[in-house]
Amino acid sequence: MPTIDIQYFKEDSFVHRLHPFTKVLFEIAVLVIAAAFNEPLFLAVVILAIIGVASLAKIPVRKFRYMWVLAYIVLFMVITQGVWFTSFGDFGDIDVEFEWRTLFHLWPAWAPGGPRIPVILEGANYGFSLGLRVVAISLAFPILVLTTHPSDLTRFLSQIRIGSWRIPYNVIFVFTTAFRYIPTVSREFDQTLDAQRSRGVNFGGYNPIRQIRVVMTLFVPVLTSSLLSAHDLTLALETRAFGAPTERTFIHEVHWRRADWGVCALLIIIAIGCLILANSYGLGVLPYTPQRNI
Amino acid sequence: MASEAIIETRDLSYSYPGGISALSSVNLEIRQGEFVAIIGSNGSGKTTLVKHFNGLLKPSQGHVMVDGLDTRTTRVSELSRIVGFVFQNPDHQIFAYSVWEEASFGLKLHKLDAETVEQQTTEALQAVSLDELRDRHPRALSRGQRQRLATASILALRTPVLVLDEPTTGQDFLSRRQIMALAVELHADGRTVLMVTHDMALVAEYATRVIVMKDGAAVCDASPNEVFKQDEVLKSTGLDLPPVAKIARGLRAYGFSDTPLTQTELVENLLTAIRS
């Protein structure tokens, strides 16, 4: 079982039956809503809603196992924002009496010259919200790939027309192939990890210079075999007349159903509603959000 | 020495994440100096089983003891000094810029002095006849040579136990022969050799003990001779008898009752039968 297992799996669920466009719109709606709010509580609700959609799609929890990596991203955001937040300078209509609350000092009081480098509660909170945005988007994204058959996705992308312009099939192919190869590369990675551990490589030590060397033993085999298999793929494609100048047809047609209208309308209403809540009423927006008027 | 258990599994069960059961209460005792073949159809749990022998997988239930160490609490890097593991695909491990560097990598990790590294690496490369190509880039080698290089990188570690995971798959007759000759040599040298394979002819010719896996359980554990007598077990696992044993089976109707393992044995047995 590969570590990163983002591959279409067959299941009969409401989400699976939706048109790819509806699911793409869902991803866009998540992006918009996650960007609208920055209060952790609101983002937590968004994440819960995404988890709700995932369970509606009957996606097993183990498919999201690798998401623990995100914990590091959240932690990184919390610390960096906690330290540097106040240097943003312009916080808009912030109260004059407002004072930053110091959580603790990275350079503790008992150390010589301490205490220094305060970690600000508000900054940490803001960093936490940035981290939660990443979590929300990372959770939502696989739902499209996990519940849409790759050829449906290809079909959908090839249907997009703007005037007489269409997305070139080569581009669509690259796009869908990239998804198809995520689990393959993940499996290669796991096997390489096994092989190197078997000869005594110890992953997860504390010496950073050694760790870089150790990681090399993983990336070189994985990259070389990925490049080689990409080369094999081009040969396989050419023997099957890839790029022949004909109109492509598809066995499977994707159908737009009544439910898609409903879901799309709902998604647009929710997204616009959230934008209005956040921008006009300031709901779900931290009072000390840095102003960036560029 | 020959009777001491170097690998022992007690009630070993393993389920992959997601709940797919791959092994169910396997009890085995591998003694020092044995040449064990682990056979079974695809998905029967052979590779899952051997991956427990150097701690790559930790038992869901039960214990695996390697030279007295519990694999649950011992690091893979530590177990790698006892159990050498040669994988089926060499491309999963080759990363260095030269043959010599690749083969010596494991030794360097064990922090041995330069002289020992040089000596053991050279010996390992000689054993797989790659010593002359020591400065070559591994990618410039043929597939068979790369497989032998991967084997050498494990041989250099001089582990008392050697696990070969389908060493002959995808190899031509000559490379197969070379690999097997090497395994035999190592076995004669007193090392314990475990081989996962589909190749029944190899099993018949070289193994001293055969473990048949089926649906995650060891259904049969005996000498090759005895295993090949149990047609039904083999048939139920989707395995076929080696050609020599098959011929002997065909001769049964004519009063021929032996189960020879090699071509020479078959010929000898036939000749004695005809003469008498």
pLDDT at residue number A294: 42
| Per-residue model confidence as pLDDT tens digits over A186-208 | 888 888 989 998 888 887 667 77
| Per-residue model confidence as pLDDT tens digits over A94-150 | 666 677 788 788 777 787 877 778 888 888 888 999 999 999 999 998 898 889 888
pLDDT at residue number B7: 92
pTM assigned to the model: 0.75
pLDDT of residue A264 exceeding 90, the answer is yes
**Which ipTM value was assigned to this complex?**
0.85
Whole-number Å distance between alpha carbons of B129 and B125: 6
The shortest C-alpha distance from B95 to chain A (Å) reads: 5
Nearest residue to B65 via CA among B35, B27, B39: B27
| Exposure of A136 in the CB half-sphere (CA atoms within 13 A) | 29
Helix segments in A94-206, DSSP class H: 121-147, 150-159, 169-198
Q: Tokens at residue A240, please? A: 């099957």
3-state DSSP assignment of residue B140: helix
Is residue A279 a contact partner of residue A36, using CB atoms and an 8 Å limit?
Answer: yes
pLDDT at residue number A207: 73
pLDDT at residue number B2: 46
| Per-residue model confidence as pLDDT tens digits over A9-53 | 888 888 988 998 999 999 999 999 999 998 899 999 999 999 999
pLDDT at residue number B122: 92
Which residue(s) pair with B64 in the sheet? B9
Nearest residue to A131 via CA among A29, A44, A5: A44
Chain B residue whose CA is closest to A62: B18
pLDDT at residue number B19: 76
Helix, strand, coil percent values for chain A (each to nearest 5): 65, 5, 30
| Cβ-based contacts of B75 with chain A (< 8 Å) | 202
Whole-number Å distance between alpha carbons of B274 and B10: 48
pLDDT at residue number B82: 92
Average pLDDT over residues A237-246: 81
For residue A115, cis peptide bond before it (omega within 30 degrees of 0): yes
Low-confidence ranges of chain B (pLDDT < 50): 1-2
| Binary contact (B80, A1; C-beta < 8 A) | no
| Per-residue model confidence as pLDDT tens digits over B87-107 | 888 888 888 889 999 999 888
pLDDT at residue number B232: 79
Domain limits, chain A: 1-149+253-294
Average pLDDT over residues A84-88: 76
DSSP assignment, residue A163?
T
Name the maximum alpha-carbon separation found in chain A.
75
Task: Tell me what percent of the residues of chain A surpass a pLDDT of 90.
Answer: 23
| Cβ-based contacts of B92 with chain A (< 8 Å) | 188, 191-192, 194-195, 221, 225
Q: What is the mean pLDDT of chain A?
A: 84
| Binary contact (A200, B157; C-beta < 8 A) | yes
pLDDT at residue number B1: 43
Nearest residue to B37 via CA among B258, B175, B223: B223
Whole-number Å distance between alpha carbons of A104 and B103: 50
DSSP string for residues in B110-136: TT--HHHHHHHHHHHHHHTT-GGGTTS
The shortest C-alpha distance from A139 to chain B (Å) reads: 19
| Cβ-based contacts of B101 with chain A (< 8 Å) | none
